[in-house]
Each structure stands twice: as structure tokens, then as C-alpha cells.
Amino acid sequence: MDNKEFENINVIPLVDIMLVLLTIVLTTATFIVKGEIPVEMPRAESANTGKVEKAFVITITREGNIFFEGKEINIRNLEQQLKELTTDSLIQIKADKASRVEYLISVLDLLNKYRFRNVSILVRKE
């Protein structure tokens, strides 16, 4: 038998795997570092830039995912969370400008159902 040494080592599959792993790590690290849900809010000329002390934030993504205080939940679980709050609690809604209006309406309907008085929709100032 002939014991021939490899003259060339094919590293292309290794490079392919490393690039895929690098892409996954960078994508995940970007979301973890920011620690926020990507939402592009609509613009308004009369946006108020005042800060509030404690507000409960409901976020609606362009895909229609709903987050309450940064944790993804469905509409039924959002209703349970809202039941535990007082009607004087400050609620801020952060809706992506590309999200469907029906998602925003369903959240507003829940807030109206439980008679929340301090509700605002966040926008970016032009």
C-alpha cells in the first residue's frame, strides 16, 4: 500500500462553517447588547420629550408581536397583566409604524376595557 501524504488540505468547508457561526454570534450579540425590541416609531411634530417616572411599556413590532415590559406575551396574557395594574398606572404604547393597525386597536381596546386613564402612544419627534 502506498502511504501518500496529503499535499493540500481543503479548508473551504471549515471557513464556511466559521462564517455561519460568526454571523449567528454577531446577530445574537447585537440584540443582547441593545437589550431592546427593534421598533421604528412614527414621527410627529408635536411629540413631547418629557420624561416620566414609572411607565409600563407595551411594544408592538412590525410582525404583530406584543411585548409587555420587554417580555413577549400574547394578547390574553397582556390582559392578565393589565388586570393586576391600577387604572391610574401610566401605560406607554410603542408601536412600529409598519405594524398593522389591528394590533394597536386590540391593545387600545384592552386598555379601554379596564378603564386606564393615562395612556400614551410614543412617537419620534421630527
Q: Give how far Cα 2 sits from Cα of 5, 50, 72, Å.
A: 10, 80, 62
CATH code assigned at 85 = 3.30.420.270
Instruction: Please tell me the distance from the alpha carbon of residue 59 to that of residue 96, in angstroms, as a whole number.
Output: 8
pTM above the 0.75 mark? no
Domain count, the chain: 1
Tell me if 49 is assigned to some domain.
yes
Tell me if 53 is assigned to some domain.
yes
The CA R_g of the chain, rounded to the nearest whole Å, is: 23
Grid cell 417580555 in the structure block, residue: 71
Residue 20 has pLDDT above 90, yes or no: yes
Tell me if 62 is assigned to some domain.
yes
Provide the pLDDT confidence category of residue 7 given band limits of 50, 70 and 90.
confident
Contact 116, 83 (CB under 8 A): no
Q: Minimum mean pLDDT among 12-26, 48-62, 65-79, 108-122: which range?
A: 48-62
Tell me if 92 is assigned to some domain.
yes
Tell me if 58 is assigned to some domain.
yes
Range of 119's domain? Answer: 43-125
pLDDT at 25: 85
